[in-house]
Amino acid sequence: MQPSHRSGYYRWDHHWGKPDCPLCPFFNLVISHDVWLLTVKQIKGNATVVKDNPAGVAFRALFPTKNQFTLTPSGPVKGVVVAQTNKGGTGVSYNIKMENLPDEGGPFVYHIHQEPVPSDGNCTDTEAHLDPFERGETPPCDPDLPQTCQVGDLAGKHGAIITSSGSTTFTESYTDDFTATSHGQSFIGNLSVVLHFANLTRIACANFKMMKLTQNMMSSLDDLLNMGDDGNVTLST
């Protein structure tokens, strides 16, 4: 591969019968410096496993947010996303319960967004997904390769919200290795969770707030859903 006369470009040229590279008999390929940088950026875009999360740290995002009234036939969307340091400090354990989901418009997706919900409850102001590795939203996340997904794309990595026939309630638990309860580029504690229709219209959103734990175990989601705004809870073993 030799530099061309065009600054920042590289070129493979072919001469039939005297190829300069194995692919040259088939085509001329010009790769710009910008494309090369994009390739490097894509490699850089793989998320790293977070291994230093502090024990006993947890956050709760409670729906609905004050001043936010996304109504369904049975009332506003109600729910909780609890995120706490996973055992050993690697990754974050998530426990989720959502109620009063819309009857139509699913499967619903949800993500951690890069800004908190403002005081007026406007979900649009939460901006885009948490994406410290600048991966972008396309192509879609491959759950078999979660390190290649956006850090905040929880639904992409762990599955969308699908309710059973006649039900508007959803519960799920899993561990995500790429989000953090420790301060850093993948920290979730000062951010928000946004719930979307399948077409990505935003339904509801809520801010993560720190919970004051007495034990590093999950209590019932119903208790976490109904406890007060101070976030105090005694967790059962």
135-190 confidence digits (pLDDT tens): 999 999 999 999 999 999 999 999 999 987 778 889 999 999 999 999 999 999 99
CATH number for the region 58-227 comes to 2.60.40.200
* 43: enclosing H helix or E strand: helix 33-44
- The residues of the chain that CATH labels 2.60.40.200 are 58-227
Amino acid at 197: F
Q: Specify the pLDDT at position 93.
A: 96
What's the confidence (pLDDT) of residue 192? 97
Q: pLDDT per residue over 25-60, tens digit each?
A: 333 333 333 333 333 344 457 999 999 999 999 999
CA–CA gap between residue 233 and residue 109 (Å, rounded): 28
Separation CA 225–CA 64 (nearest Å): 10
| Residues 98-127 pLDDT 10s | 998 988 889 999 999 999 999 999 999 999
Query: Is pLDDT at 68 greater than 70 in this prediction?
Result: no
What's residue 159's pLDDT?
Answer: 97
* Band of residue 226 on the pLDDT scale cut at 50, 70, 90: low
